[in-house]
Copies of this chain bind each other. A is one copy, B any other.
């Protein structure tokens, strides 16, 4: 057990509240600050892509007994439903029988997490704006605005869980030897909405992640508990088929009629949604170090913001908390050691999921519409079913295991090199499940190393 500390967490998002619960259960006094009002009392207006919880997220929740409460507000999703432009629908299962990710509404989940944290004894301080931090003595500076008079709040430890544009990290960035990068994507996103049927049922299969892959852009949809779907349109800001090119109602209607004809009946308020909802940015943020002495640490998006295409932003943030908890159990009151070992363990894995997520846009928006890619996935699944000890597909390593992301990425690259050779076998589309192909894969596995 650790000596009780007075701890401030900046940010009442998913990772901040989960960390608060962990720290409170470890006997510490925990205050969570957020500049926004309590989201349980106001309409949510934050980011809009639905979340998917997978093994890493569940593991972190299980450890503090929260998995059952959260599973009740999620919907299992066991496959991709791929909507081709000609109306054809393909299904691609994510894993083996029963393996599924869980679709969760961000606002529903976040409100639930705050409830659970309060029940655990965490104190929330909403509408408290933290503008700066003294890294040397963990003092927070709070005030109405950046140029007003600030009040000082002294803590033993400060955690930055305040997202990709973290104020806590902002102070760390001004230290020497702090590596930092932010890169904005040329692709933005906009929320659209598929309402429930009048009887509360879902208009399309609720247990699928729906994708309309169109190359440079795509539409996706994930189910909510109330029968609706949260849809997200990902598209370049500029150029042909871009947000910039859809300025008028007619352009929008024609665009959807051409590329997403089967959405006509299920997105009734397309024009209203599209022109009302903001177009949001995507950013990849990397930094190092994540901690300062034994006083300050970053978790979640404030340490590693990624793009959403693997559905792992929250899962990676929750895994930060798992690793922090492991280090706390190992090193007790040696917080400098806890922080150093935490960042050392997590950094390569955060970089790996950043890379995997970036690549997955191409997989979702282009490859899922490519027959050859679907064949490759089918071969991998067939071989994996026959030789589960020899082959676990990359998606399963990332999503249905807690293997370090960096290992999953390296093994994935190794498997891809093998599959490149397999796919170049003449007439592979007719011979894909033949003994020769099976033998070829085994030979390649024995000859290559990763």
Interface residues of A (CB under 8 A from B): 173, 176-184, 281
Q: Which residues of B contact A173 (CB under 8 A)?
A: 182
Q: How far is the CB of A212 from chain B (nearest CB, A)?
A: 26
Q: How far is the CB of A354 from chain B (nearest CB, A)?
A: 13
User: Besides A178-B184, A179-B184, A180-B181, 10 other CB < 8 A contacts?
Assistant: A173-B182, A176-B184, A177-B184, A177-B281, A178-B182, A179-B183, A180-B180, A180-B182, A181-B181, A181-B182
Q: Which residues of B contact A183 (CB under 8 A)?
A: 179, 181
Q: How far is the CB of A37 from chain B (nearest CB, A)?
A: 23
> In the complex the two chains form, what is the Cα distance from A231 to B297 in whole Å?
39
Q: Which residues of B contact A178 (CB under 8 A)?
A: 182, 184
Q: How far is the CB of A199 from chain B (nearest CB, A)?
A: 42
Shortest Cβ-Cβ A-B pairs, 9 listed:
A181-B181, A177-B184, A180-B182, A179-B183, A176-B281, A179-B184, A179-B182, A177-B281, A180-B181
Q: Which residues of B contact A177 (CB under 8 A)?
A: 184, 281
Q: Which residues of B contact A281 (CB under 8 A)?
A: 176-177
Chain A interface secondary structure, helix, strand, loop or mixed? strand
Closest to A184 in B: B177
Closest to A176 in B: B281
Q: How far is the CB of A170 from chain B (nearest CB, A)?
A: 9
Q: Which residues of B contact A176 (CB under 8 A)?
A: 184, 281
Q: Which residues of B contact A182 (CB under 8 A)?
A: 173, 178-181
Q: Which residues of B contact A179 (CB under 8 A)?
A: 182-184
Q: How far is the CB of A122 from chain B (nearest CB, A)?
A: 30
Q: How far is the CB of A239 from chain B (nearest CB, A)?
A: 15
Q: Which residues of B contact A180 (CB under 8 A)?
A: 180-182
Q: How far is the CB of A147 from chain B (nearest CB, A)?
A: 8
Please name 16 pairs of A and B residues whose Cβ atoms are closer than 8 Å in the assembled complex, sorted by A. Answer: A173-B182, A176-B184, A176-B281, A177-B184, A177-B281, A178-B182, A178-B184, A179-B182, A179-B183, A179-B184, A180-B180, A180-B181, A180-B182, A181-B181, A181-B182, A181-B183
> In the complex the two chains form, what is the Cα distance from A182 to B180 in whole Å?
5
> In the complex the two chains form, what is the Cα distance from A184 to B180 in whole Å?
9
- Interface hub of A178, A180, A281 (most chain B Cβ within 10 A): A180
Closest to A181 in B: B181
Q: How far is the CB of A181 from chain B (nearest CB, A)?
A: 4
- Interface hub of A173, A178, A182 (most chain B Cβ within 10 A): A182
Closest to A280 in B: B176
> In the complex the two chains form, what is the Cα distance from A281 to B177 in whole Å?
8
> In the complex the two chains form, what is the Cα distance from A47 to B183 in whole Å?
30
Closest to A185 in B: B177
> In the complex the two chains form, what is the Cα distance from A225 to B180 in whole Å?
39
> In the complex the two chains form, what is the Cα distance from A176 to B183 in whole Å?
10
Q: Which residues of B contact A181 (CB under 8 A)?
A: 180-183
Closest to A179 in B: B183
Closest to A186 in B: B177
> In the complex the two chains form, what is the Cα distance from A350 to B180 in whole Å?
19
> In the complex the two chains form, what is the Cα distance from A180 to B281 in whole Å?
15
> In the complex the two chains form, what is the Cα distance from A182 to B181 in whole Å?
6
